[in-house]
Amino acid sequence: MRVLVTGANRGIGAALVAGCRARGDEAIGTARRPEAGLLPLDVTDPASVRALAGALEGQPLDLLVCNAGVYLDKGQTLATGYPPELWAAGFAANVTGVFQTIQALMPNLRAAKGRIAIISSMMASDTRAPGGSYVYRASKAAALNLGRNLAADLSGEGIAVGIYHPGWVKTEMGGGGADIEVADSAAGLLARFDALTPATTGCFEDWQGKAPAF
């Protein structure tokens, strides 16, 4: 199986690539500043997205994992924070970048009747809303909405789309106080990706396969 994971230089993305390779998949990782074994991709840069699509032209893709994302507004305050440029950058990475990557790699996905996994978050909830982190919460809600609508449009082609909450993971983004190890989250997510079919397209699940309580 050929898998592509965006944002694979650290954290969950790196663990997903490692997990895929350990079981024998051909796993392609990307990063804005790629290290050895990773392809360059800045999901906020259309030219970079086009370059990746060109590099993979003609290669069927069984699974695309849209993992690259940013959490730029951690610690911002309502009184003085959340400037417009922060909103633009957050949505460029977490929403527009997801869409552009999927759009550019549709020929690869169609060639394999592949699957698409979008990493969103429980923080996308509009009912479990404790406040703060407005940019991140809104962008992840938009990513969930994007995934659900892509699932509807691609269902006729047999391309399944799943949206996933990875848990509160001990990564650079999640922080040391998180309660899930990276390896556990990645293993759970891979199991969810494996279970994704046209019958379950549009699902929103956590890393354990549970539907988040919204």
Q: Which residues are catalytic?
A: 136
Tokens of 36: 């050895």
Between vectors from CA 35 to CA 14 and to CA 190, what angle results, nearest 5°? Answer: 15
Q: Where are the alpha helices (DSSP H) in the chain?
A: 11-22, 46-55, 84-91, 97-104, 106-112, 134-154, 182-195
**Which phi and psi angles does 57 have, rounded to 5°?**
-55, 130
Tokens of 128: 């479990």
CB 180 within 8 A of CB 126: no
- In the sheet that holds 115-119, the strands lie side by side as 38-40, 26-31, 2-5, 63-66, 115-119, 160-165, 204-206
| Alpha carbon distance 128, 112 (integer Å) | 37
